[in-house]
Chain A
Amino acid sequence: MSEQPLLSVENLTVRFAMNRRGLFSPATHLYAVDDVSFHVNRGETLAIVGESGSGKTTAALAAARLVTAYEGRVVLDGEDVLPLEGEELRQMRQKVQFIFQDPYSSLNPRQRAEEIVRDPLQSLTDTPAAEQQEITERLFAQVGLRPEQRRLFPHQFSGGQRQRIGIARALATQPELVICDEPVSALDVAVQAQILNLLSALQEEFGLTYLFISHDLGVVQHMCDSVAVMYMGKIVEHADRKSLFNNPLHPYTAALLSAVPSVDKTLREKSKRILIPGDPPDPTQKQVGCRFASRCPVAQDQCRLSEPPLTEIAPNHRVACHLVDEKAISPL
């Protein structure tokens, strides 16, 4: 590859301490993100997909230095960001911004819309006040809000408009990487389309790189260039958009895809539903073997004994499953 990826995450592990059972019992940890590696190319969108509790948000938060990573390396634009502190960290934060899931709780109800959008400029940059005003005004137009709405408070906006304010705030410092954490899942279907189209248009206009977190495979298929599927803190499959959706190899990916209800009757009749029973196992217990083995319809003895590594079985297609080899045939 000629160009170096904008963001590359290597062997990232995030763990949370859990309540001790007694005063003298050893400290235990929950590994929310366990030895995860991925990269995002400049100007592209990487989607991280998975069920709730799979660690997709935590991985993104750690990459943005919003939770502390336990181990690993996060390289943004050639710079290792995990050891950064003080002014250097402030500089780095300009380059990575976040769009949050819930437009109702992620805006300060006591700030006016323009103050919310101006906030990152004030705290992260040394832009003069007049220029801040100019940037804010421009951002409002770019995300499709009217100039007179700048003086309003969040409660005076609809959900979709609020998400536009959140997007304007994320773009204020001209970031290179924008992490979108379920940006549309709290919105009505018709408004979702408006926001997704806006995100695509902004990406084209500013050459943004998105790390797009979602559980909605339809949205992911529409937005992304490559996809990483997470299950219980691990990436189980990582591929470009076409390979992943046309030839899902990990049984979990296939099950996720088959679980999405479809309006297309022929597709519905063609694809057989792969049912995965039950819920994910208790994450506080350290697992032996493949984490998906307990719900996997094709699990075999070796799956319960050893954990499959994430291996590249085709160009740009990595899978962590014992039953997938170079022939790239789904085990189902």
Chain B
Amino acid sequence: MTEPLLKVQNLRVELTTRNGTAPVIDDVSFELHAGENLSFVGESGCGKSMTALAIMGLLPEGIGRITAGSIMFDGQELTELSQERLRRIRGNDISMIFQEPMTSLNPVYTIGEQIVEVLLAHQSISRADAWAEAATLLDAVRIPKARERLKDYPFQLSGGQRQRVMIAIALACKPKVLIADEPTTALDVTVQAQIFDLLRDLRQETGTSIILITHDMGAVAEMAERMIVMYAGRIAEIGAVDDIIGTPRHPYTKGLISCVPHVLAHVTDEKQPLTEVPGIVPSLREFGKDQCLFASRCQHRTQQCLTARPQSVNFDGAQSADCWHAGTL
């Protein structure tokens, strides 16, 4: 096996709140290989985006910090790098697409200027070459009449086109890792399908690894090879997408899959009520306790779940679930 491109080990990120510090990421380890698509799934407030921000070195300053663990990227320890070095990696080797294509572009610059800015910051090329490269990039994300559209302002583009521009900016320096944080939540399904197709094709052409953060199991099934289910800052389940969706071992994963009404191939008159996962994600004050944090919402809860944090149970292949009862469910 080759060395993974990105290796996160025992990562712990603490957030300072009015009620003291809370571990929003608690002992998270995973690997990302070159050209692989890895997905993070979970409800909001489970630490998916926080993990991405920690990798990017973009944790909210003064509030969030990495207190333990390591992030190895391409032979470098990201947690020990200076701001200057990090800035060079960010956007160049690892880049990110954000959720809201409406708000993550600057409204007072043309999209051409915004793409060129990234190119000039990270590569030693002339301004004219950068503009030519920007047109090529817009063309690559399938925006028609790319050269003319460079002069457009963000408000002149539709939501789907703005997200394409964001992808063009993220891919400008041919990063090794692309983190897509809910890239399609604000978009219509037909546009979402277009964006997914685009990401798939780009990955094939450039060999970029993609970390897709989402709450949509369908999207994961379609896009990723491996997935991580996160709950309350911890990994609930990790493994190959087909294994996990086929036989989810953690009760939370099961809940996440069955609580969503999926489009069925054949519809009958029968309508079954949805399986509910009762309650909501625990508040930050509960994070980090030595118990199963899902216990309050779990129907299989026993005394053991309330007194000790579950250890991961391995199943054949690379699937493992952090649940005391994973083996028996």
Contacts and interface: CB of A to CB of B under 8 A. Distances in A.
Contacts of B220: 263
B227 to A, nearest CB: 11
B273 A263 contact: no
A205 to B, nearest CB: 14
Most chain B CB neighbours (cut-off 10 Å) among A223, A267, A268, A278: A278
A276 B190 CA distance: 7
A261 B152 CA distance: 32
B269 interface: yes
Most chain B CB neighbours (cut-off 10 Å) among A160, A190, A197, A217: A190
Contact of B260 (A193, A197, A215): A193
Contact of B263 (A158, A188, A193, A221): A221
Contact of A257 (B196, B242, B260, B263): B263
Interface string A233-253: 000000001100110000000
B197 A261 contact: no
Interface residues of A, number: 46
A261 B222 CA distance: 6
B215 A189 contact: yes
Contacts of A219: 261
A52 B187 CA distance: 9
Contacts of B159: 52
A190 B296 CA distance: 14
B208 interface: no
- What is the interface of chain B mostly: helix, strand, loop, or mixed? loop
Interface string B235-264: 000000010010000000001110111111
A267 B264 CA distance: 8
B145 interface: no
A200 interface: yes
B216 A261 contact: yes
Interface in B218-242: 218-223, 242
A200 B272 CA distance: 10
A65 to B, nearest CB: 28
A139 B192 CA distance: 38
Interface stretch (B105-113, B117-125, B275-283, B309-317): B275-283
Contacts, number: 128
A263 B193 contact: no
B5 interface: no
Contact of B43 (A51, A188, A255, A276): A188
Contacts of B129: none
Interface residues of B, number: 50
Contact of A191 (B190, B261, B264, B280): B280
A52 B222 CA distance: 23
B329 interface: no
Contacts of A196: 261, 274
A188 B261 contact: no
A98 B216 CA distance: 27
Given A51-B190, A261-B219, A193 B277 contact: yes
B268 interface: yes
A197 B160 contact: no
Contacts of A52: 159, 188
21 contacts: A189-B43, A190-B259, A193-B259, A193-B274, A193-B277, A194-B278, A197-B273, A218-B263, A219-B261, A222-B271, A223-B261, A241-B267, A242-B269, A246-B267, A257-B263, A260-B263, A261-B216, A261-B218, A262-B263, A271-B265, A279-B161
Interface of B: 43-44, 144, 158-161, 188-194, 196-197, 215-223, 242, 245, 255-257, 259-269, 271, 273-278, 280-281
> What are the 10 closest A-B residue pairs judged by CB atoms, nearest first?
A261-B218, A222-B261, A193-B259, A259-B193, A190-B277, A51-B188, A193-B274, A245-B267, A218-B261, A188-B43
Given A193-B274, A217-B189, 19 more contacts: A52-B159, A160-B280, A188-B215, A189-B215, A189-B260, A191-B280, A193-B260, A200-B271, A221-B261, A241-B267, A246-B266, A260-B189, A261-B192, A261-B216, A263-B221, A263-B245, A273-B197, A275-B197, A277-B194
